[in-house]
C-alpha cells in the first residue's frame, strides 16, 4: 500500500486537520465507487467526501474497511440532505451505520433548507459535534448572507463551506468573506467549469511539466482552498493526487485568477 505523502492541511476548530486534497464520490455508485475509493486510498488520499444523497455510503465505508488504512488516518465527510431537516439524528445514525464508523470528521448541511437557512438544523449539528459524533460541522452551497444567519444566531461559524469552485468561478470577495468569518472554503467540481485547454493553463502546465488538471488542483492548494476531484479511472485518480511536487508562482496564480469572467 502506498503511504500518504506529507499532505498540506487546513486547521478547523477543535484541532481538526483537514487535508487540502480530498477524493470526491459524487455520481459514483456500486462497484465503481468501491473500486474508486480503494484506488484513491491506495494512491495516498486520506480525505474522502460522500453524502447521504449520493447513495454510496455503504461502498465508501466498505472500501475504507477493506483498504487496511486505519480509520483515524482518514478524514471522512458526509452531508445531510436539506429535506432531512428535522431528522438530523436519524440521518446521521444511518450514515454512520452505512460507513461503519462511530463518527465522521465533517458533517455538512448539503444545501440550505428553505426554512430559515437551516438554523434549527445548525443548532442540532452543533449538539452532535459536542457529543463527538462529528469532529467538525459545516455547510455546503451557502452564501455569505446565509452563513451570517447561522453565525449571528449561535455565535458559531461553520467550520467549512463547500461550494462549486474553479478558476472561472474565482471570486476573491467571496473567498475573503469566508476567511473573515473563520470558514474554510472547499471547492467541488473543479474541472466541470474549467476549460482545460485554455492557453494560460496550457502554458503554465508546460512550464511545470504537468497537466492542466494538475495546475487547476494546485491553484486550489496554493489559495488554501480544499479541493475534492472525482474520478473512477485509476490513472486519473493517481494523477489528481500527484500535485505536491510543484507550486505556482504569484504571477501564475494571478494569471489563473484572471480566467474568471
Partners of 227 in the β-ladder: 21, 187
Provide the 8-state DSSP code for 232.
S
Residues 122 and 255: their CA atoms lie apart, in Å, by 38
Task: Clarify whether 188 is annotated catalytic.
Answer: no
Specify the residue for cell string 454510496: 56
Cross-strand partners of 48: 23, 76
- Give the H or E element holding residue 56: none
Q: 137-141: long-range contacts (C-beta < 8 A, 24 or more apart)? A: 137/106, 137/107, 137/108, 138/106, 138/107, 138/108, 138/109, 138/162, 138/183, 138/184, 139/108, 139/109, 139/112, 140/79, 140/108, 140/109, 140/110, 140/111, 141/110, 141/111, 141/112
Catalytic residue among 34, 45, 54, 188: 54
What stretches of the chain show up as alpha helix (H) in DSSP?
30-43, 57-67, 88-99, 119-130, 144-154, 172-180, 199-208, 212-223, 234-241, 250-257
| Three cell numbers written together for 244 | 505536491
* Residues assigned a catalytic role: 54
Amino acid at each position: 500500500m502506498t503511504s500518504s505523502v506529507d499532505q498540506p492541511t487546513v486547521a478547523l476548530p477543535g484541532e481538526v486537520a483537514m487535508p487540502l486534497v480530498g477524493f470526491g464520490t459524487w455520481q459514483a455508485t456500486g462497484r465503481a465507487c468501491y473500486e474508486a475509493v480503494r484506488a484513491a486510498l491506495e494512491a495516498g488520499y486520506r480525505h474522502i467526501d460522500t453524502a447521504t444523497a449520493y447513495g454510496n455510503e455503504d461502498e465508501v465505508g466498505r472500501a475504507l474497511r477493506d483498504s487496511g488504512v486505519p480509520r483515524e488516518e482518514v478524514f471522512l465527510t458526509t452531508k445531510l440532505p436539506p429535506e432531512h431537516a428535522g431528522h438530523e439524528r436519524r440521518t446521521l445514525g444511518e450514515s454512520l451505520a452505512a460507513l461503519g464508523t462511530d463518527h465522521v470528521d465533517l458533517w455538512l448541511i448539503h444545501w440550505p433548507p428553505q426554512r430559515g437557512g437551516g438554523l434549527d438544523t445548525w443548532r442540532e449539528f452543533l449538539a452532535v459535534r459536542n457529543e463527538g459524533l462529528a469532529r467538525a460541522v459545516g455547510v455546503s452551497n451557502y452564501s455569505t448572507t446565509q452563513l451570517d444567519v447561522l453565525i449571528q444566531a449561535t455565535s458559531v461559524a461553520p467550520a467549512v463551506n463547500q461550494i462549486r469552485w474553479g478558476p472561472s468561478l474565482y471570486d476573491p470577495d467571496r473567498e475573503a468573506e469566508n476567511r473573515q468569518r473563520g470558514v474554510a472554503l472547499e471547492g467541488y467540481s473543479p474541472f466541470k467549469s474549467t476549460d482545460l485547454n485554455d492557453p494560460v493553463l496550457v502554458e503554465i502546465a508546460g512550464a511545470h511539466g504537468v497537466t492542466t488538471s494538475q495546475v487547476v488542483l494546485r491553484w486550489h492548494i496554493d489559495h488554501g482552498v480544499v479541493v475534492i476531484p472525482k474520478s473512477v479511472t485509476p490513472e486519473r485518480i493517481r494523477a489528481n493526487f500527484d500535485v505536491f511536487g510543484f507550486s505556482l508562482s504569484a504571477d501564475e496564480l494571478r494569471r489563473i485568477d484572471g480566467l474568471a469572467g
